Amino acid sequence: MNFWQRISFIDRRWIYLLVALSVLFPMIVPMQCPVGISPEARQLFEAIDSLPDGSKVMLTFDYYPSTIAETEPMSIVALRHMFSKDMKVVTLSNIPLGGPSIAERVTRDIATEFGKTYGIDYVNLGYKAGYVAVMHGLASSIERIFPSDYTGTPLRELPLMQHVENYRDLEFILAVADNATVDYWISIVNAQYDIPVGAGVTAVVAPKMYSFLEAGQLTGLLGGMKGAAEYEKLFKREADATRGMGSQSIVHLLIIFFVVLGNLGFFIHKEKQNK
């Protein structure tokens, strides 16, 4: 059995081990990877940055705990950006498993960092089933859909919510999502109620978003961990996503190497068979 035949039958667990070591290497030997800024990430940053200080915005936590490596850094840096401009932030989640508690933890931590007060500077609405109905319902009355917040406090007792009745009172919506809910923030909320919507999505969802971006239905886009790292760089506060880019780059190089090696092996083996 020659080299090319041997690599065709290599135990896949060796590849898993190499990938794991590649991810681990930059954590043991810290390395700085340059992060280029894409136009879509810059567009999102500038859209939020250009809002007047004290604007009222909505930030959604439409993601499961399984994808927090990609999505949570987006929520964190966006929230930091919003709080640094004294914006009033309303958060909610259309994801039952994990979404509301992630929103609660992230908003509480970042609010503490910026000295913000719950109910005055930010409110976490929590989760409500049936996101299409929820998105339509919020257009007429947020209180009708969410009579109380995540902790059970009636909305009418929260000072911020006395100034936010529906979408018309919001300047911008940033949908951070790992699933199809972002499609409906665009097709329902942006298209039917004319509210600017930006998106931070997982890398798996990102390619689909480019058609919305090109059509002007989205105001900026963050795609995966790279998108989060771009936002961190634009905000000049590098954190988890930027730190992960070292591992990301090494594993990508490894995968490219495997793809080239696999294809070479395939064609050489095929040519030998033809002979």
Partner 1 sequence: MPESISFIEHFQIWLRAFLILSLFSFLYKDNVFYKFSEHIFAGLSAGYYVGLIWQTVIIQQLVNPMFDEGHYELIIPGMLGVLMFARLVPKWSWVSRVSLAFVIGNTAGIYLISSIHGFVFPQIWSTMVSLGSPDGFHMSLISLILVVGVISTLIYFYFSKEHKGALGLTARLGVWFIMIAFGAHFGYTVMGRISLLIGRVEFLFYQWGGSLKQIF
Q: Whose structure tokens read 């339509």?
A: 136
> CB neighbours (10 Å) of residue 204?
13
- Please choose, out of 109-117, 156-164, 169-177, 238-246, the segment that lies near partner 1 by the rule CB under 8 A: 238-246
Residue 44 or residue 201: which is nearer to partner 1 going by CB? 201
d(CA 104, CA 116): 14
Binding residue for partner 1 (CB under 8 A) from 42, 85, 136, 237? 136
Helix (H, G, I), strand (E, B) or coil at 177: strand
The letter for the amino acid at 228 is A
Tokens of 116: 């913000």
Residue 147 exposure: Cα atoms within 13 Å on the Cβ side:
0
Binding residue for partner 1 (CB under 8 A) from 188, 199, 221, 234? 188
Tokens of 59: 């930030």
190 is a site residue for partner 1 (CB under 8 A): yes
63 is a site residue for partner 1 (CB under 8 A): no
Binding residue for partner 1 (CB under 8 A) from 38, 166, 187, 269? 187
d(CA 231, CA 57): 18
Q: Which residues bind partner 1 (CB under 8 A)?
A: 13, 16, 19-20, 23-24, 27, 66-70, 96-97, 100, 126-129, 132-133, 136, 147-148, 183-184, 186-188, 190-192, 202-204, 206-207, 211-212, 214-217, 223-226, 240, 243-244, 247-248, 251-252, 255
